[in-house]
Amino acid sequence: MTKTCIDHLAILGGKAEFDQPLHVGRPNLGSRDQLFARLAELLERKWLTNNGPLVQEFEQRLAARIGVKHCVAVCNGTAALEIGARALGLAGEVIVPAFTFVATPHALTWQGLTPRFCDVDPRTHCLSAGMVEAHVGERTSGIVGVHLWGRPCDVDALQDLARRRRLKLLFDASHAFACTHGGRCIGGFGDAEVFSFHATKVLNSGEGGAVATNDDALAQRLRLLRNFGFAGYDTVVHLGINGKMSELAAALGLTNLESLDAFVAANRRNFEAYRAGLAGLPGITLIAHDQRERHNYQYVVVEVDAAKAGIDRDLLVDVLWKENVLARRYFYPGCHRMEPYRSLDPAAAQSLPVTDRLAERVLVLPTGTDLDVDDVGRVCSLIALVLGHGSALRARLGPRADDL
């Protein structure tokens, strides 16, 4: 980083710091040779979908990696949530965090369920059992906890609560593949756990998802639901949809699974570089991980305290984007402030102060195999430069640069 004054920032007329954009969630890709070999084999077989051999292999290897009896692959993570909720027989209200990607409540609403938004722990950004129990009512049938940033929910306490109150417990583990809780891989907790293999995830199949469970009967229902309820060639025994994963997606998933450890190692190197580069910057708090557990380091998350940083999160985002650092606001503005939930429950924000606070402060920075530690160092230096000229930026652009 050679720039030393605010006039060199692209937002004020200089050249962008990075020639090519740095993204959050740029796809990690394994061996092209291995992928092309798998694609050639499946094209030769002409078996492109309907529980082909690559999907079966992907499921088996996922289950072995996670340490569960069953892993049912589906077309995407949202379908996995919907199929999981239907297979568990959820009805009425389901308690869910408002600080999550909107797919989580959308999947429930699409099933005719009512998401009951609960606030999150300000330290973990996840549901805690105490907060959840206060929302349990006569119409509550289940809980959907989200392992945000790959950090687990209050798993043990939520499992105890679900048993005591006779509720179903489903975890959205979209961020948490290859992470652990208590030394055990996430995937085997609650009644079932849902993974996403979207292109942005540490393990991707382009589009894809899976439901993991140790319940034999539940796994059978999941398999019926993802394939129109077929229990044989021409025998339909259950309501179902087309939620199958294709062989092409499984080919990519298998290939990337073989490189997963390398992806995680790259993420961890970047995370440690961010930790060093952001240390001591006023108002910037990097979200850390429990070093006793394994983690995929998929997300580099900071909270921006505007009072201490001298600049609010949104203005920092505007500057970074002008410099080709495409940092993201997660999960702004909170699901309760999105439609249809905003109209269905206009007063929800009154019980979600932590969610609102996080939605105004959280910033996710680029990482993944497309970045190296030098890139991370330049991003950190850029953030430091911006913080050092916060007053000049505010004077020129105002508290929010919505017109840029």
| Domain end among 206, 233, 257 | 257
Parallel/antiparallel/unpaired status of strands 70-74 and 209-213: antiparallel
The reply to whether 138 and 175 lie within a common domain is: yes
The reply to whether 299 and 247 lie within a common domain is: no
Give residue 17's pLDDT. Answer: 79
In a domain, 353, yes or no: no
Measure the CA–CA gap between 213 and 132, rounded to whole angstroms.
Answer: 23
- Structural domain count of the chain: 2
| Domain end among 196, 228, 257 | 257
- Residue 149 burial by CB count (10 A; 0-12/13-18/19+): exposed, middle or buried? buried
- Give me the residues paired with residue 166 across strands: none
Give residue 16's pLDDT. Answer: 74
In a domain, 14, yes or no: yes
CA atoms 297, 100, 201, 66: torsion sign: positive
Give residue 9's pLDDT. Answer: 58
Instruction: Provide the phi-psi class of 152: left if phi over 0, else alpha when psi is between -120 and 50, else beta.
Output: beta
CA 17 to chain centre: 28
φ/ψ (deg, to 5) at 401: -100, 55
Q: Write b or e for each residue in 62-71: b if 16 or more Cβ atoms lie within 10 A of its Cβ, otherwise e.
A: bbebbebebb
Give residue 381's pLDDT. Answer: 96
In a domain, 218, yes or no: yes
In a domain, 147, yes or no: yes
φ/ψ (deg, to 5) at 344: -70, -35
The reply to whether 103 and 209 lie within a common domain is: yes
The reply to whether 289 and 210 lie within a common domain is: no
Measure the CA–CA gap between 371 and 158, rounded to whole angstroms.
Answer: 37
Per DSSP, the three-state class of 184 is: strand
In a domain, 121, yes or no: yes
- Residue 46 burial by CB count (10 A; 0-12/13-18/19+): exposed, middle or buried? exposed
Question: Which pLDDT tens digits describe the chain residue by residue (404 residues)?
Answer: 334 445 545 555 567 778 889 999 899 999 999 999 999 999 999 999 999 999 999 999 999 999 999 999 999 999 999 999 999 999 999 999 999 999 999 999 999 999 999 999 999 999 999 999 999 999 999 999 999 999 999 999 999 999 999 999 999 999 999 999 999 999 999 999 999 999 999 999 999 999 999 999 999 999 999 999 999 889 999 999 999 999 999 999 999 999 999 999 999 999 999 999 999 999 999 999 999 999 999 999 999 999 999 999 999 999 999 999 999 999 999 999 999 999 999 999 999 999 999 999 999 999 999 999 999 999 999 999 999 887 677 666 655 544 44
Give residue 393's pLDDT. Answer: 72
Domain hosting 219: range is 32-257
In a domain, 344, yes or no: no
The reply to whether 55 and 181 lie within a common domain is: yes
The reply to whether 286 and 244 lie within a common domain is: no
The reply to whether 110 and 203 lie within a common domain is: yes
Pull the structure tokens for residue 300: 């580099």
The reply to whether 198 and 316 lie within a common domain is: no
In a domain, 350, yes or no: no
CB 129 within 8 A of CB 158: yes
CATH number at residue 299: 3.90.1150.10
The reply to whether 67 and 171 lie within a common domain is: yes
The reply to whether 270 and 387 lie within a common domain is: yes
The reply to whether 268 and 181 lie within a common domain is: no
CB 324 within 8 A of CB 19: yes
Measure the CA–CA gap between 99 and 122, rounded to whole angstroms.
Answer: 11
| Domain end among 257, 274, 305 | 257
Q: What is the DSSP letter of 280?
A: T
CATH number at residue 114: 3.40.640.10
Length of the chain: 404
CB 254 within 8 A of CB 56: no
The reply to whether 133 and 248 lie within a common domain is: yes
Q: What is the DSSP letter of 68?
A: -
Q: Write b or e for each residue in 306-327: b if 16 or more Cβ atoms lie within 10 A of its Cβ, otherwise e.
A: beebbbbbbbbbbbbbbbbbbb
In a domain, 356, yes or no: no
pTM over 0.75: yes
